[in-house]
Amino acid sequence: MNYINFLYRAYRFMASSITSKDGSFKHIWQVAYPLIIMSATLTIMQICDRKFLSMQSTDYVAAALPAGMLAFNMGSFFLVTINFTSSVVAQYFGKKADKPCVTAAWSAIALALVAGIFISFCLPYVGIEILKFVASDEHLCGLQIEYFFPLSSSVAFACLTSACCSYFSGQGMTKVVAIANFFGMLVNILLDYLLIFGHKGFPMLDIGEIPALGLTGAGVATSCAALTTALVSLGFFFFYRPNKMLKVIEFIKFDIKMVYKIFKFGVPVGLMVVMDVGAWFIAMSLIGRISKEAAAAMTITVSINQLSFMPMLGFTDAASIIFGKNIGRGKLRLGEIVIYRSWVMIWSYMAITATIYLLFPMNLLNFFAPSIVDGDFSEVLVIGKISLTCAAFYNFFDSAKFILMGALRGAGDTKILVIVVVAACWLFMVPAILLTIMVFNGTIINVWMVFAALILIQTISFFIRFKSRKWANIKLTS
């Protein structure tokens, strides 16, 4: 009898998931798919970067990942803190308070401009010294610096994009975010091709020969694409007015109380990402000590795994937005249901990508093969196949972790995020990776075992916190 009752409740849950408006699978998808498209544009940009660079040299590919991670990490504190504005907007929107939504966006834009100046003029020089300090190979270090310096300004433009787009994404209008990033992707692919390989020029446009800039060209292309995305986002913020939205130009206001709120709840998330990416940067840099081929294989694996990781971020942001909106409306139970349904959706997608990784690993890896395949790349293929297999299973736990993090972020329960991530990454992963590679001369499989243990610790911790419902006592809009 209990079994029949369970089946009946499961049927009602799935039926309401499809037919009800708020919190249904359909509703989650409507918010998520533009964010997934946005993530897809970022994935395509990164894959094009790696593909074009791999056609030049395997060393270029090995240098791109650590430099790219460092460039992001140097500005991620500001970027993620500003991005928390979407959670603030979501809860105010849920309470039908329009003016605070606009005030939050203007405050975020002011923060983005200040952060952008600091990122552009201070952080690149610090980053170069960090790359020199952690370098395991002098040649690779030179290539990393070549890519890092022009790339670093892209994060400054991303801060402005995040401030503008938070206003729309917090209200569930995620198509704006997708469109802005789509234009950036087009610019990135075009400039990648022209600047990495060079071009004989365009006489009709009075443009002379474009020299092949290699890694420098890839960095410049990404920064130009980020600038394009920021300008398109600004255009939407000033001129796009669906559903009789307020004219933002009439409510220009820098509210110190709103800034404090963004900092109070956003800074822990920013610190979490800095510490998280910093730990992963060290881990990825240490993999180069296993072998140059291992570093290249991991870079290619991470690039391929963007097919899983970036859509996962889209689902996470969608779940966070809808969860925050329902908290603003006082519908806490519906918010919890949204998180569980998002979890089901992302695991369904992970099952698809895992199948692809396991059935077609060589097809995926050979996409990044250099023009002339040598013995070095044959070793990259062997290590890469192992890494892809590990990634296929790792992604299930990683996606669960991100969905739960999205829920806690949407509720404003951000302090627990930084505590768990810092403790797990710096007290467990970094020491474990150091011992695995430097002391025990571990292989890439041993490295993935450490990654799997890390993600399991974090996922269990976030699930326990979510089930405790302590986040229900936090008020973002008070």
What pLDDT, on a 0 to 100 scale, did the predictor assign at position 392?
93
**pTM over 0.85, yes/no:** no
Residue 301 burial by CB count (10 A; 0-12/13-18/19+): exposed, middle or buried?
buried
Look at residue 174 and give its three-state secondary structure: coil
Determine the average pLDDT of the residues in 175-202. Answer: 85
Q: Considering only CA atoms, which of 393, 195, 387 is closest in space to residue 300?
A: 387
pLDDT of residue 3: 46
Predicted confidence at residue 374, as pLDDT, reads 57
First to last CA, the chain: 46
Please report which confidence band the pLDDT of residue 312 belongs to, taking 50, 70 and 90 as the band edges: confident
- Answer whether residue 19 shows pLDDT above 70: no
The span from the CA of 352 to the CA of 186, in Å, is 27
Angle, CA 343 vertex, CA 340 and CA 349 arms, to 5°: 150
Please compute, for residue 374, the number of CA atoms within 13 A of its CA located in the half-sphere on the CB side: 9
pLDDT of residue 208: 63
DSSP 211: P
- Pick 266 or 423 by higher pLDDT: 423
Q: Which residues pair with 202 in a beta bridge?
A: 207
pLDDT band, residue 10 (cuts 50/70/90): very low
Distance CA 23, CA 18 (A): 9
Q: Give, in order, the Cα–Cα distances in Å from 274 to each of 164, 189, 372, 392.
A: 22, 28, 38, 25
DSSP state of 204: G
| Of the candidate ranges 41-55, 178-192, 350-364, the one whose mean pLDDT is the lowest | 41-55
Question: For 24, which DSSP code?
Answer: S
Give the Cα separation of 387 and 298 in Å (integer): 7
| pLDDT score of 427 | 95
Q: Encoding tokens for residue 18?
A: 């499809």
Question: Is the pLDDT assigned to residue 478 strictly greater than 70?
Answer: no
Question: What pLDDT does residue 11 have?
Answer: 44
Q: Which two tokens stand for residue 438?
A: 């430097």
Q: 347: exposed, middle or buried (C-beta count within 10 Å: 0-12, 13-18, 19+)?
A: middle
pLDDT value for 2: 52
Q: Name which of 37-51, 112-126, 175-189, 356-370 the model is least confident about.
A: 37-51
How far is Cα 74 from Cα 68, in angstroms, rounded to an integer?
10
Percent of the chain with pLDDT over 90: 28
Q: How many CB atoms lie within 10 A of CB 452?
A: 15
Given a cut of 90, whether residue 102 has pLDDT beyond it is no
pLDDT tens for each residue of 257-301:
888 888 888 888 888 888 888 888 888 888 888 888 888 888 889
Instruction: Tell me the chain's radius of gyration from C-alpha atoms.
Output: 22
Highest-pLDDT range among 51-65, 124-138, 387-401, 462-476: 387-401
Mean pLDDT, rounded, for 140-168: 88
Alpha helices in 288-374 (DSSP H): 292-304, 306-328, 332-359, 361-366
Query: Which residue did the predictor score with more confidence, 271 or 242?
Result: 271
Mean pLDDT, the chain, integer:
84
Split at pLDDT 50, 70, 90, the class of 97 is confident
* pLDDT at position 21: 62
Q: Which residue has the higher pLDDT, 355 or 170?
A: 355
More confident residue, 177 or 460: 460
Q: Which residue has the higher pLDDT, 436 or 374?
A: 436
Give the residue from 220, 83, 75, 64 showing the smallest Cα distance to 155.
75
pLDDT beyond 50 at 84: yes
Confidence of residue 460 (pLDDT cuts 50, 70, 90): very high
Q: What band does 40 get if pLDDT is binned at 50, 70 and 90?
A: confident
Least confident piece of the model among 38-52, 97-111, 201-215, 362-376: 201-215
The sign of the CA dihedral 50, 54, 56, 59 is positive
- The pLDDT of residue 142 is above 70: yes
For residue 256, report the phi and psi dihedrals to the nearest 5 degrees. -65, -30
- C-alpha to C-alpha distance for 118 and 114, rounded to whole angstroms: 7
